[in-house]
């Protein structure tokens, strides 16, 4: 299983807020049944690598669906770790929190 961080930014909307476009992009993950976590600056999802790439493409296209966006910038990071059985968002956060606690 891979973990993807994605940030889709529509440009030239004429508004300072783009949350409605972000909501539409996140709904792609919900329709596809991919586990995800929305953050203040990006969204993280986990699943099979091919499904994540397909979802990223669909999320990018989704911001154009209304017809009022003519440009979008999509940033994508993939963590595809194959040396462990279960690479999940929770495992990564738990590991980090344990290490931070240990350092105190």
Cβ atoms of 38 and 54 closer than 8 Å:
no
Provide the CATH number for the domain around residue 9.
3.30.70.930
Over range 56-85, report the average pLDDT: 94
Q: Which of 59, 61, 66 is nearest to 29 (CA)?
A: 59
**Cα–Cα distance measured from residue 100 to residue 88, given in angstroms and rounded to the nearest whole number:** 19
Number of domains comprising the chain: 1
> Per-residue pLDDT for 28 more than 70?
yes
Name the average pLDDT for the chain.
93
Spell out the residues 6+ positions from residue 92 whose beta carbon is closer than 8 angstroms to its own. 3, 79
Phi, psi of 62 (to 5 degrees): -60, -35
Enclosing domain of residue 65:
2-103
pLDDT in tens, 54-70: 999 999 999 999 899 99
């Amino acid at each position: 299983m891979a973990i993807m961080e994605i940030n889709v930014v529509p440009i030239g909307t004429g508004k300072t807020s783009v949350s409605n476009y972000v909501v539409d992009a996140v709904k792609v993950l919900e329709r596809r049944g991919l586990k995800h976590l929305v953050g203040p600056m990006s969204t993280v999802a986990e699943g099979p690598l091919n499904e994540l790439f397909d979802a990223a493409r669909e999320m990018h296209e989704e911001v154009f669906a209304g017809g009022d966006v003519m440009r979008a910038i999509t940033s994508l990071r993939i963590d595809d770790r194959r040396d462990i059985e279960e690479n999940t968002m929770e495992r990564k956060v738990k590991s980090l929190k344990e290490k931070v606690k240990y350092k105190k």
